[in-house]
């Protein structure tokens, strides 16, 4: 089944403790993105990648890092999480620039 | 400033009561417009892509249309299972073809 897989689905952590949210897609898509979704603010892009080793900042990149060492994987790294990073996170991939994104099921992160 | 606005924020319909959702945009160069459906606690699910004014796409009870300034998602004779949040997103013709989402319309269809 064609899909984007994120892990974990739920995560509660403490301020300052480094964490990684994994994302993997099995569709051989070149484009991948991370979004966060907050009430009243909608989906906002954190980082995106157009191919292996090619990444760039979206609208809200502060406090996040990404890497794209393989085409299928695009992990999101929070080096020192803070409470304002409590949110619902989505990884997404698409075949090309004119195509719609396929989204993962989401990771609900709580930072206390 | 590039902006995507959806209205209404929430809509409650009786089963069978047709209506339309609106997505208006002010962006510097439209490359495409996407509609998604999102169920609570799940990722958005792709519905349609529209590329040019006058284009229409249909899927079951849903029909999406596009003009130069807005898009409509028409829901004909909705059923309770159509209850969800509907998101539109605009693909802009900038350097990396940025995708900007609206905040969505929450639709509730009562039996």
Query: Which residue of chain B is at minimal alpha-carbon distance from A106?
Result: B43
Reference A59, options A43, A73, A74; nearest CA is A43
CB contact B7 to A (< 8 Å)? no
Task: Please give the structure tokens belonging to residue A32.
Answer: 């991948």
Token couple for A52: 């292996």
Spatial separation of the C-alpha atoms in residues B88 and A98, rounded to whole Å: 15
pLDDT at B3 over 90: no
Residue A6 has pLDDT above 70, yes or no: yes
Chain A contact residues (CB < 8 Å to B): 4, 33, 35, 40-45, 48, 50, 56, 90, 92, 97-106
pLDDT band at A98 (very low <50, low <70, confident <90, very high): confident
Between A42, A90, A103, which is nearest B102 by CB? A42
Q: Which of A88, A100, A105, A107 to mutate to test the interface with B (most CBs of B within 10 A)?
A: A100
Q: What is the pLDDT of residues A30-75, one digit of tens each?
A: 999 999 999 888 899 999 999 999 999 988 999 999 999 999 999 9
pLDDT(B95) > 70: no
pLDDT tens by residue, B37-93: 999 989 999 999 999 999 999 999 999 999 989 999 999 999 999 999 999 999 887
B92 CA to chain A: closest CA distance, Å? 10
**Average pLDDT score over chain B:** 93
Residue A82, beta-bridge partner list: none
Average pLDDT score over chain A: 94
Give the pLDDT of residue A89. Answer: 98
Cβ–Cβ below 8 Å for A103 and B49 = no
Q: Which residues pair with B22 in a beta bridge?
A: B7, B72
Of A42, A100, A101, the CB nearest to B103: A42
The C-alpha of B12 sits at a distance from chain A's nearest C-alpha, in angstroms, of 19
Q: What is the pLDDT of residue B96?
A: 62
Give the other-Cβ count within 10 Å of B18's Cβ: 11
Q: What is the pLDDT, as a whole number, of residue B53?
A: 93
Interface contacts A/B by beta carbons within 8 Å: 50
CA A57 → CA A50, A60, B84, B90, distances in Å? 12, 8, 30, 18
């Amino acid at each position: 089944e064609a899909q984007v897989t994120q892990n974990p689905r739920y995560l509660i952590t403490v301020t300052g403790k480094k964490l990684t949210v994994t994302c993997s897609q099995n569709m051989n898509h070149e484009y991948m993105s991370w979004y966060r979704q907050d009430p009243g603010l909608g989906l906002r892009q954190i980082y995106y990648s157009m191919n292996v080793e090619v990444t760039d900042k979206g609208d809200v990149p502060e406090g996040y890092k990404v890497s794209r060492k393989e085409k299928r994987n695009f992990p999101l790294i929070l080096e020192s999480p803070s409470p304002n990073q409590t949110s619902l996170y989505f990884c997404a991939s698409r075949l090309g620039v004119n195509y719609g994104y396929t989204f993962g099921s989401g990771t609900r992160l709580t930072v206390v | 400033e590039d902006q995507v606005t959806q209205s209404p924020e929430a809509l409650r319909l009786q089963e069978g009561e047709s209506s339309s959702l609106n997505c208006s945009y002010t962006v510097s160069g439209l490359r495409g417009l996407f509609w998604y459906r999102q169920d609570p606690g799940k990722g958005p699910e792709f519905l349609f892509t529209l590329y040019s004014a006058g284009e229409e796409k249909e899927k079951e009870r849903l029909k999406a249309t596009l003009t130069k300034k807005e898009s409509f998602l028409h829901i004909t004779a909705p059923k309770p299972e159509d209850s969800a949040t509907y998101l539109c997103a605009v693909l802009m013709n900038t350097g990396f073809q940025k995708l900007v989402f609206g905040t969505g319309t929450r639709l509730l269809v009562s039996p």
